[in-house]
Structure 1
Amino acid sequence: MLIALIVFVTVGVVFMGATFLLSRLLRPHRPNPVKLQSYECGPEPFGDAWRQMNLHYYVFAILFVLFDVEAAFLFPVALALGRLGWFAFFEVLVFVGLLLIGWYYAKKVGGMEWER
């Protein structure tokens, strides 16, 4: 089993390296200052690149991912719950209970309010 894994990873790395090397050797290389200009990306940047970001966006995004993954776990269980039995039902209740605790905590600390 370990030999198969080593062969699989080795073949994958060699194939990837050969693909990158081949594309580097076969591509045309014509440097041009026009290629360094902005293309459909807005104006040229100016000033300092460091700006303070609002971290609340990231908290909101993490909460979205959390509840999105929760939905991805609950849909298959909902489809197969009749075959899984009572033990799976109580496992799902524990899972949803933990998610509700997380939702309550996020609501309590203001993680779900866009404006503070």
Structure 2
Amino acid sequence: MLEGYLPILIFFGVATLFSLGLLFGGKLLAPSRPDAEKNSAYECGFAAFEDARMKFDVRYYLVAILFIIFDLEIAFLFPWAIALDQIGTFGLIAMAIFLGILVVGFVYEWKKGALEWE
């Protein structure tokens, strides 16, 4: 009974050895020549002046969540548009209801001032 699991165990063993070999082989074989230029700040051009764990305004997260929600709306529209011939009028009405609910949510957030930035 357990002999059926032997190929899976061998696969996991080979995969683990292969990944560890690549990980440590890269560390051992890669040239390491750090200098001041390589270790300097490169993203914004100046050294960091605050802690990276500083507090952000809650509105930043709210706008990010709203973006994700309305971005997912578009992700649902693509398969719907491709399958519209097969689903017919029922699919059209269902998507209209879905979009209507999202529009109501968008208007609510707009009226509450969630999209305002000072």
TM-score range, shorter-chain basis? 0.5 to 0.7
TM-score normalised by length of structure 1:
0.66
Deviation (angstroms), 1:19: 1.7
How far apart, CA to CA, are the structure 2 residues paired with 1:42 and 1:68? 32
How far apart, CA to CA, are the structure 2 residues paired with 1:63 and 1:69? 10
Query: Aligned pair count?
Result: 114
How far apart, CA to CA, are the structure 2 residues paired with 1:106 and 1:4? 54
Is 1:18 aligned with 2:21? yes
Match of 1:83 in 2: 86
Change (3 A) 1:10 1:87: farther
1:76-111 CA-to-partner distances (Å, cap 9, x unmatched) read 202321212344334323422332343233224321
Deviation (angstroms), 1:6: 7.1
Q: Name whichever of 65-74 and 105-114 sits farther off.
A: 105-114
1:34-80 CA-to-partner distances (Å, cap 9, x unmatched) read 54333464222346556442221221122112111101211220232
Gaps of 5+ in 1: none
Match of 1:55 in 2: 58
- SS for the counterpart of 1:36 is coil
Q: Percent identity?
A: 39
What RMSD over aligned residues (CA atoms) do the two structures have, in Å? 3.4
Match of 1:92 in 2: 95
